[in-house]
Amino acid sequence: MVTIKYQKLLINMHNKTVSELQEDLKNKKVSSVELTQHFLDRIKKIDSELNSFITITEDEAIKKAKLIDKEISKGTVRALSGIPIAQKDIFCTKGIKTTCGSKMLENFISPYDATVVQKLNESGVVVVGKTNMDEFAMGSSNETSYFGDVKNPWHTDYVPGGSSGGSAASVAARLIPCSTGTDTGGSIRQPASLTGICGIKPTYGRVSRYGMIAFASSLDQAGIFTRTAKDCAILLKEISGYDSKDSTSSRMEVPDYVNECSRKLESLTVGIPKEFMQGLDGDVKSTFEDTIKLLESSGCKIKNINLKTSRLGVSAYQVVAPAECSSNLSRYDGIRFGHRTNNAENIEELYKKSRSEGFGDEVKRRILIGTYALSAGYYDAYYLKAQKLRQLISNEFAEAFSSVDLILGPTTPDSAFKLGEKTNDPIAMYLSDVFTVSTNLAGLPAMSVPMGFKNNLPLGLQIIGNHFDESKILQLAYHYQQLTDWHTMKPDISGE
């Protein structure tokens, strides 16, 4: 129950940033229970229009909020004490359904927490639910989810991007101040861009993948959605670091991103790849050019560079990612976990029917492509070639970073597209990731920050950094948000 005293204060709570809420909670201006209830009420009121959540964990959330309030009253404040958060439904959550957007895992309850979930829980967050996503994170529009399409809060006829569409839409509509996502080829940055919020995909290995349902293991990386760069820094610090349960996680020390992001910008050289400007939509191009002018006038050195291989990223990605997915998804056999058919006469039929019934069309397409690319006769022609291309892409980025600190471009070639517009044209859908996939192939960190609008739909600026240069990315993003107010704009659906 919310007391009258707090009602006025609460009205605007959903417009506050994570860092502002941290202060309010610490100074007991609002209790964690009140804040949690406020966001739960907003989800109940608004999410029927967006479909950004698959599961809402009201009871667990209130229970945790009570515990946090008790701690705060005793003077114990953890890094994220009482901050409401939504988890992408790709992260295993102990005792709570983890569907990965698929019928295959419709009723799957994980016996353990993903490391990201565990770390955030230990930092004091209150998880209000699990967000909708493309099935097994395969998609760019959140239209492949078994649980229905997610709508873009800026215009509900449009897609929010994918695969972390629910995590992005819920933050954009202020149903939650922050959420988690995963990015294999753009699934954090593309939906962040299309919904007008911040999304950061760290360096491969910066964040543990343990308990994050695998799509393409050499590309997958967990990250964060918020509305400001500072909030991204706050949350990234909590989820980063070595994990003995993930052998690809890095032992590099985790910097204090929060302090580093607000450091004064000094002589930063940013590279603009010529290839990012070719064939761009006119409005996206002019918005990006305005952004560059602004950064230049505030002291950044601008350098035109070439990334000749960047256009080949999608081709390499659409071989490597399906190849790895075909192997990762072979575990869903109807026996160990996941959907099991009701009408099989023998073991082979059980495998076939369970998988045919449990997976959607896009997942099946990827498994078929991947199995084909890995098969004896075609391995050299496709998989090996794609891996060589991947190396060339990495080399070209490494070369570029010898003369620039960061690389900038638009996150996506255009603003959000209409629901249904690309569902029958997989190639057109895949091409919407043209600016994002290369960084995954090279294992680099990158972020999308709101940089303007086209016909009332948001556009994003992509900031790419060298390995483990998250601080520099966040610093530029923070600085840019001091100069602009795109991140403060709200979609109508979010109310006042």
Residue with Cβ nearer ligand GLN (241 or 426): 426
Q: Which residues contact 300 (CB under 8 A, 6 or more apart)?
A: 265, 268, 269, 270, 476
When CB distances to ligand GLN are compared, the closest residue is 187
Token code pair at residue 406: 């960061």
Q: What are phi and psi of 92, to 5 degrees?
A: -65, 130
Residue with Cβ nearer ligand GLN (81 or 163): 163
- Shortest spacing between CB 8 and ligand GLN, in angstroms: 41
- Shortest spacing between CB 137 and ligand GLN, in angstroms: 4
- Shortest spacing between CB 273 and ligand GLN, in angstroms: 20
Contact of 324 with 215, CB cutoff 8 Å: yes
Residue with Cβ nearer ligand GLN (433 or 470): 433
Residue with Cβ nearer ligand GLN (36 or 163): 163
Gap between the Cα atoms of 89 and 110, Å rounded: 11
As to burial, measured by CB atoms within 10 angstroms (0-12 exposed, 13-18 middle, 19+ buried), residue 8 is exposed
- Shortest spacing between CB 193 and ligand GLN, in angstroms: 12
Gap between the Cα atoms of 34 and 224, Å rounded: 24
Q: Which residues are catalytic?
A: 88, 163, 187
Q: Say if residue 170 is preceded by a cis peptide, omega within 30 of 0.
A: no
N- to C-terminal Cα separation, the chain: 22
Contact of 232 with 481, CB cutoff 8 Å: no
Q: How far is CA 226 from its chain centroid?
A: 10
Element (H, E) at 270: strand 269-273
- Shortest spacing between CB 485 and ligand GLN, in angstroms: 29
Residue with Cβ nearer ligand GLN (355 or 366): 366
- Shortest spacing between CB 78 and ligand GLN, in angstroms: 30
Residue with Cβ nearer ligand GLN (183 or 405): 183
- Shortest spacing between CB 321 and ligand GLN, in angstroms: 5
Gap between the Cα atoms of 255 and 450, Å rounded: 25
Strand ranges of the sheet holding 198-201, from the earlier edge strand across to the other edge: 53-56, 126-131, 84-88, 179-182, 222-226, 198-201, 446-454, 457-465, 406-410, 269-273, 301-305
Residue with Cβ nearer ligand GLN (138 or 316): 138
DSSP letter at 453? E
Residue with Cβ nearer ligand GLN (174 or 201): 201
Q: Which residues contact 450 (CB under 8 A, 6 or more apart)?
A: 193, 196, 197, 198, 458, 459, 460, 461, 486, 487, 489
Q: Kindly list the residues in this chain that would bind ligand GLN in the complex (CB under 6 A).
A: 137-140, 163, 183-187, 215, 321, 433
Token code pair at residue 96: 């709570």
- Shortest spacing between CB 125 and ligand GLN, in angstroms: 23
462, HSE (Cβ side, Cα atoms, 13 Å):
32
Contact of 158 with 419, CB cutoff 8 Å: yes
